[in-house]
Chain A
Amino acid sequence: MICQELRACLGAHLDGELDVERSLAADEHLAFCMECKWAYAKERELRTLLRTRLPREPVPDALRERIRWGLRRADREERWGAAARRALAWSVPAAALVLLALGIGFWEKSVPPPVVSELVAKHMMYSRLDAPAEVVSANQEAVSGWFKGRVRFEVIVPDFSPSGIRLVGGRLSDLSDRPVAYLLYEKGRSLVSLFAFPSQGLALPDRGWVRVGDGRFYVTEVKGAEVVLWTQRGLAYALVSSLDRQALLECADTVWRLVASSRAPGA
C-alpha cells in the first residue's frame, strides 16, 4: 500500500470498516511511514474530540412527559381500534358497539396533555407574584406593541372589559423552551391568564372539546383552575383562571372572533 492509497481509506481504517486484508496492509504502511502515522493520529484525534468533547444536551423533563403522554394516547387508540375490529369480527351488532364506545367515552376521563399542567403551573406562579407583568398597561395597542420584536408572531390583545375583566399587562414566558406571549387580566382579585405560543408539535386530546360560536375549544380543569385551550392560525391560545368555565369560554369566544378577523396570520 502506498501513501496515496492509505490516505484514501484512513477514515475507514480508523472506523474499523476495512476488510482484513486491507486493514493489515494499512497497519503495515503505518508502521514505517511517519507522515501517514501523523495523518492517522490527526484523524483519530478529531474523532476523540467529537466523541468526548461535544456537550450533551439534557433531555427536558417536559419532552419526556410529552412523549409518554403521546405514546399512552396512541396505545389507547390502537387498542380501541383492535377491540373494535375484534368486536366487528364477532359480528356484535353495530348498535351495541356504539353503546360501548359511548360508555367508554363516558367512563374514561380524558387525560389532560402535559402542556396543561405547565400552563396551570405558570398561572399559579404569576398569581403569587406581586408585579408579574413586564409591561404594565391597560392599553391594548401598547401591550401588543411591546411584544413586537420580542416574539416572532403577532400578539393579539383582546378586550374583555364588557365582562368586567380588565387588562393588566403582559410579559414573556416560555413552555418547554418555546417562547410564549403572556397576557394578564384581572377580575376583582382573580387573575385571568391568556397564553399565546406557536402550536407546532402540540398534541391535544380527541375528547373534551366544546363548541362556542364558530370556535372549538378544549376545556379541562387542573388543581381548581379552569383551562380553555385551542389552536388557531398556527398559534395555540390558552386561558387559565379560577373564574367559572362559562366566563372563560366567553373570553375564548372573544379571542377566537378577534383572531379570525385579524388580517395577518398568527405565525
Chain B
Amino acid sequence: MLSCADATRRVSESLDHPLPLRTRIGLRLHLMMCSACWRFSKQIRGLERLLRGPRKGSEAADSTEEDPQRLSPSKREAIKRALRR
C-alpha cells in the first residue's frame, strides 16, 4: 500500500509528466481512500490553476488595472523603443 508521503509526491509528479499506468492506478486507489491526500491533490491543483489562470485571455479585460505580475505598460513601450533602434 502506497504511503501518504509517496502519494503526495506522485500527485505532484503527475502535474509534470504522465505517470505509468500502474502508478496511476495505485495513486487513484490511494486518493479514493485517503481524504488527507485527496485534499492535498485538490489544493495544489487549484493553486496552480489560480497562479496560471487569470492572465490567460484577460489581457484586454484588465488592461486598465496594473497587474503586479506583469511588465508595466510604460516599460513595455520603452523596451519596444529600445528594440527598434
Whether A and B are associated in the same complex: the answer reads: no
